[in-house]
Amino acid sequence: MAADAKKKILVADDDPEVRSLVTDVLTELGYEVVVVEDGAALYRTAPAMKPDLILSDLDMPGLSGGTAQALLRTNPETRGIPIIFMTGQTRDRQAHLVEFRPDTRILYKPLNLKELAIAVEEELNPF
């Protein structure tokens, strides 16, 4: 299931346990993983890194994942990068955190690691 060319994934989450878990899973699957702790770092890092995929917590202190997504969508260098959101919020609460595009993928915490692996694979290899 792992990528042949070491695809790059940028992970943004303010919870160190989630960052560690996601990093371990994605590294095991053969991906190159870069981790940041908040939406501001996500917004600063993505244009330089040009990841193949972003995994972002929705609700982070300061710049939320939804706000970071909106800002990344305004930049031609980052607008096409797929983003998978992760959240511990209820569906009602998370609807207020970000305006979703119809194709937005959301994983709910606690994360199901099989769902995480499948979601990442589907986003990186859609056909």
Rounded CA-CA distance 120/95 in Å is 22
The mean of the pLDDT values for the chain is 88
**Does some domain include residue 84?**
yes
| Confidence class for position 3, pLDDT limits 50, 70, 90 | very low
Q: Is residue 42 part of a domain?
A: yes
Give the residue-averaged pLDDT of 16-39: 96
pLDDT at 15: 96
Q: Cα–Cα distances in Å, from 37 out to 15, 19, 21, 54, 100? A: 8, 8, 14, 13, 22
Report, as an integer, the average pLDDT of 11-25: 97
Measured over the CA atoms of residue 112, residue 5, residue 55 and residue 126, the dihedral's sign is negative
Which pLDDT belongs to residue 91?
67
CATH of the domain at 34: 3.40.50.2300
Q: Is residue 3 part of a domain?
A: no
Contact 2, 31 (CB under 8 A): yes
In a domain? residue 118: yes
Domain that holds residue 15: 8-124
- In this prediction, residue 72 carries a pLDDT of 94
Number of domains in the chain: 1
More confident residue, 65 or 34: 34
**Preceding amide of 47 cis, omega within 30:** no
pTM: 0.89
Q: What is the mean pLDDT of residues 42-68?
A: 93
